[in-house]
Copies of this chain bind each other. A is one copy, B any other.
Amino acid sequence: MQLIDATAAERLYSEMGAAVEVSGGSAANTIAGIASLGGRAGFIGKVNADQLGDIFAHDIRALGVEFITAPARGGRPTGRCLIFVTPDAQRTMQTFLGVAGEVGPDDVDAALIKRAQITYFEGYLWDAAPAKQAYLKAAQIAHEAKRKVALTLSDKFCVDRHRAEFVDLVHGHIDVLFANELEIMALYETATFDEAVSAVRGKCDVAVLTRSEKGAVIVSPHDTVEVKVQPIAKVVDTTGAGDLFAAGFLYGLTRGKPLGECGRIAAVCAAEIISHVGARPEAKLAELIG
C-alpha cells in the first residue's frame, strides 16, 4: 500500500481501467465483517458529506453498524483507495486518505468504546497526526473501562515508518495483535517468521499472524495454534483477506470461542472475501461459518 496525494490520485485514476466501487477502509471492512457475522459493532471514522461518503455511511449502517461520526463538510473529500488486481488475484493499493486522516480526538465516542468488548485499531492511520491522537485517547478509555484493545499492523511499509512506536504500542497497550508474515518480521526486524513468532510471544495476550495460502498462526504466551486456509474454487481478489480474517477472529473472541475456533471462523471469512472483487462480504457471513 502506498499513500498518494490528491493530484497523484487524479492522475492515476485517469490512467486506470474501468473499475468497481466498493466501500472499503481496512478497519471498516473488519467491522462490516463482524456485523455480517451477526456481531454488534460500531465504527469511528471520517468521511466527507459527498457521494462517496454517503455510500460509505449507507453501506456500513445497512449492516447494522453504529456509525455516528459527523461527516466533514467542505475541505478534503472522502478518502479512496485505487486498487489494481492482477489476474492471479494479487493487488496494488494506492490510497488517497482524503478526510479520513482528519478523524481526531473529538470524534472519539467514549460511551461507544466503554460499551465495546474490544476496540480495534488499524495501523494505517498512524500516518495521520489527528488520527493517532484519537487512537491514544480511545485506547486509554478502553483500558480504563477494563476493555480489550486490538491492533492490526496493516502494512509492512507502515511498520517500517513507525517501528519504534509500534513496538512500544504492542508491548504496552495492545491485547490482540494482527499482522501478516511480512509485517511481524518487519516489526522485529527478523530474518525468519519463526524468529518473529518467538519475539512477539508473551508481548500481548494473543498475536494472530496470517501467512496467505499457508494459513495462520495464533500465538499466545503458552500456546501456538495453527489455522488452515479454507479451500475455495477460485481466488479472484485478495484485497481484504487480512481485514476479514480479523473480523472472524474478533467475532469468535467476543463470543468466548477457543482460539482454534476463532481461527477457523476467521479463515472462512477470509475465503469468502477473496472469492470476489472488493473487501466487503457479498454473502451473509453468519450463514457460512456453520
> In the complex, A280→B52 CA distance in Å?
20
A5 at the interface (CB under 8 A from B): no
Binding stretch for chain B, among A58-66, A245-253, A257-265: A58-66
- Per-residue CB contact flags for chain A residues 96-125 toward chain B (1 = under 8 Å, else 0) read 000000000000000000000000000000
A172 at the interface (CB under 8 A from B): no
Question: Are A58 and B14 closer than 8 Å at their CB atoms?
Answer: yes
Question: Are B277 and A59 closer than 8 Å at their CB atoms?
Answer: no
Query: Beyond the given A20-B20, A51-B51, could you list 19 further A-B residue pairs with CB under 8 A, ordered by the A residue number?
Result: A13-B58, A14-B58, A16-B62, A18-B23, A18-B63, A18-B280, A19-B58, A19-B62, A20-B22, A20-B278, A20-B280, A21-B21, A21-B55, A50-B51, A51-B52, A233-B233, A276-B276, A276-B277, A277-B277
> In the complex, A216→B17 CA distance in Å?
31
Residues of B within 8 Å of A63, CB to CB, are: 17-18
Stoichiometry (number of copies) = 2
Interface size of A by CB at 8 A reads 26
A282 at the interface (CB under 8 A from B): yes
Residues of B within 8 Å of A177, CB to CB, are: none
| Chain B residue at minimum C-beta to C-beta distance from A282 | B277
Question: Are A18 and B51 closer than 8 Å at their CB atoms?
Answer: no
A32 at the interface (CB under 8 A from B): yes
- Per-residue CB contact flags for chain A residues 266-288 toward chain B (1 = under 8 Å, else 0) read 00000000001110101000000
Residues of B within 8 Å of A280, CB to CB, are: 18, 20
Residues of B within 8 Å of A278, CB to CB, are: 20
A20 CB, nearest partner CB in chain B, Å: 5
> In the complex, A20→B278 CA distance in Å?
9
| Chain B residue at minimum C-beta to C-beta distance from A78 | B51
Q: 7 A–B contact pairs at CB < 8 A?
A: A14-B58, A17-B62, A18-B32, A18-B60, A19-B58, A20-B20, A233-B233
A7-56, CB < 8 A from B: 13-14, 16-23, 32, 50-52, 55
- Per-residue CB contact flags for chain A residues 173-194 toward chain B (1 = under 8 Å, else 0) read 0000000000000000000000
| Chain B residue at minimum C-beta to C-beta distance from A52 | B51
